Structure 1
Amino acid sequence: MRKRNTVAIIVSVVFMILLSGCSGYFAMGWSGNKYPGKFNASFQYFNGSKASKFSVKEGETLQVNYKSSVEEGDLTIKLYNSEKEVISELEVNSEGSKELKVSKDDKYKLVVAGKKAKGNFDINWKVE
């Protein structure tokens, strides 16, 4: 009986590892939302990355408000353009806002990446 339970636990752990490899992240205790203009979560363990994509047109201004707190591990929050260049990096364990004037139509990706992280983030953006 004990051997059967041990095998079941090992199979479950391997299955979770395989699933996390397919999705790009592994998280435990994740509670979050991702809507147009909003991305937030709190988590007990986050390893990998999650992203939100949106478009901004030439001449528009992107206003980003953020707040994050990390108790353990590392967390980065970066904004990329379609050429995979980092346009801005948001400071973690901080609260603030950034305003970016866009010089051409482009698709942007906001990427939150964790390395054995425990904490939370709340990011809102709007295009004006």
Structure 2
Amino acid sequence: MMSVLAEGWVWWVGALAIGVPLVLVVLTEIIGALRRRRSPAVRPLLLLRNAVVPVAALVVLLAFATRSDQDLVWVRIVGTVLGFLLILLVLSGVNVALFSTAREGTWRERVPTIFVEIVRLLLVVVGLAVL
């Protein structure tokens, strides 16, 4: 029994089995509270809860389940999807911080939404090219 606990993967599996559901429940409660306040921060948190956390857990599971010297394609594919989702999450958070909470009369309030979306698209394309 002690030899099984001495292996590192047991602790990672335990952390995933307890940590991921706990993070999802906490995020759900935070999202519910922000929805009642009609906060614009709900969209990035929904992306975090519904996509980023599950894909990150999948990356960790795949990385530990397929530990070998071979270059495994599935781990890289899911890792790339996680990178793309993280880019979307960061850009969504920046959008909320800069433009959704802009006070009336400021330059951030006057910027047309189409320009914000075009810059966001360009940043996603550059981020994917880097990935």
Rg larger in structure? 2
Greater share of helix:
2
Greater share of strand:
1
Fold match by TM threshold 0.5: no
TM-score of the two chains, using structure 1 as the length reference: 0.30
